[in-house]
Amino acid sequence: MDYILETKNLTKNIKNENIIKGLSLKVPKGETYGLLGPNGAGKSTTMKLLCGLLKPSEGEVIFKGKPWSRDTLNKIGVLIESPAIYGNLTAKENMLIHACMLGVSENEITRVLKLLKIDKTGKKKVSNFSLGMKQRLGIAIALLGNPDLIILDEPTNGLDPIGIQELRDLIKRLNENQITVLVSSHNLAEIQHIASYIGIIINGKLKYEGEINDTDDLETIFMNVTKE
């Protein structure tokens, strides 16, 4: 198995509290990996450790076989919490700001906007976008520069059924383009639809990791792990 991302004994202490406890994840290349757990389990903290927003107290993050470094950010796209977008600008204008910071071309903007199917929004201000459209724009920004890995933290929060279906279709297209997706959620049904591998975190510890398919009962797996 070819793993694009691994963690080894990843640990994070915040204000003398042990939030993440010896986490060792293995995320297969080109797949969607669902990071599951109840609220407060440590999913968001883990995501922030993976993309460098937080520094581990112990352990390490391995990306494509090498220890995490600042250069790793060039190959990782991140959407944690709300997208960093400007409501008074159009989708393309928002993209231009981020493309300038990343040093990518306008052709790259066009490619990503088409991939996300928001290339025909024209002069419409982002403040007038639906929540689903804003989420797509946030993911589009994360995709600038053609990253190998996309990290999404609770991306379906606040989305209506149409927005959720659009997100499912997008994640499928990303995998088809050999982009690995790591998505955190407490929504078991949603992860069942999109993920081929899962990890379950309980109280900052990895309690389960493995492949899943359509015939697996994810709710039963989750509840059994929780009870243990």
Confidence of residue 6 (pLDDT cuts 50, 70, 90): very high
Task: Indicate the pTM of the whole model.
Answer: 0.88
Residue 158 has pLDDT above 80, yes or no: no
48-107 confidence digits (pLDDT tens)? 999 888 999 999 999 999 998 888 888 898 888 777 788 999 999 998 988 888 788 888
Q: What is the band of 109 on the pLDDT scale with cuts at 50, 70, 90?
A: confident
Residues 6+ apart with CB under 8 A from 74: 145, 147
Q: What is the pLDDT of residue 19?
A: 93
Model pLDDT, residue 9: 95
Q: Residue 100 has what pLDDT?
A: 85
| Averaged pLDDT for residues 161-170 | 83
- The pLDDT score that the predictor gives to residue 125 is 94
Q: What is the mean pLDDT of the chain?
A: 88
Whether 210 shows a pLDDT value over 90: the answer reads yes
Position 211 scores a pLDDT of 93
Question: In this predicted model, what pLDDT tens digit does every residue of 119-139 receive, in sequence order?
Answer: 888 899 999 988 878 888 888
The band of 202, judged by pLDDT with boundaries at 50, 70 and 90, is: very high
pLDDT at residue 161, as a whole number: 84
pLDDT tens, residue by residue, 56-66 = 999 999 999 99
Q: Between these two residues, 177 and 63, which has the higher pLDDT value?
A: 63
Q: In the prediction, which pLDDT does 124 show?
A: 92
